[in-house]
A = this chain, B = another copy of it.
Amino acid sequence: MADFIHERHKPPSGLERPRELIVACVPLRSNINLSRIVRVASCSGVSKIIACGTAKVISKIARDGADAIEIEVHRTLPPVLKELKREGYQLVGLEQTTRSENLHIFQFERKTVLVVGNERSGLTEDLLALLDQVVEIPVYGLPYSYNVATAATMALYEYCRQFPRG
């Protein structure tokens, strides 16, 4: 069996078409979490992030993702989500609710807006009312909740697994 040889700078995986996946974040408490989401979204080939209010991306955390990805800042999410819904995007929230589907088995539509809630309050009622689907991630141990950027990472991974070529 041949050895595993470290390859530091492999070429990235190609997409056959631009990803039709947008990440929309409510106002987050922590710009660190936002910046971590920017990095993983950019690495995942997401073309646009929608952030709110005084959101500020920390480039030391987001790295080149901070410049590579379009970051659109809005005062609040509902108007832009309504517009994206009119454009044919499925609005998928990430939250524990009475009717959330398990991310492990959820089938994404290609044209998706992943809506990410606040670290403490999650997704508020007015946002939940706009969503087409809500997904949640099984949690097995303490502290019984994933960090917001960790949860977003899992959802982005699952989307890319389903659409490895865009």
Contact = CB atoms under 8 A, between A and B. Distances in A.
Interface string A142-164: 11111101100110011011001
A131 interface: yes
B140 A97 contact: no
Contacts of A13: 138-140
A71 B99 CA distance: 36
Given A43-B146, A96-B10, A4 B128 contact: yes
Contacts of A4: 93, 95, 97-100, 128-129, 131, 134
A63 B45 CA distance: 31
A106 to B, nearest CB: 11
A44 B140 contact: yes
Nearest to A63: B143
Q: How many copies does the complex hold?
A: 2
Nearest to A98: B5
Given A138-B164, A142-B63, A154-B153, A6 B95 contact: yes
Contacts of A67: 142
A15 interface: yes
A98 B9 CA distance: 11
A43 B64 CA distance: 30
B12 A69 contact: no
Nearest to A10: B96
Interface stretch (A34-42, A50-58, A72-80, A82-90): A34-42
B7 A140 contact: no
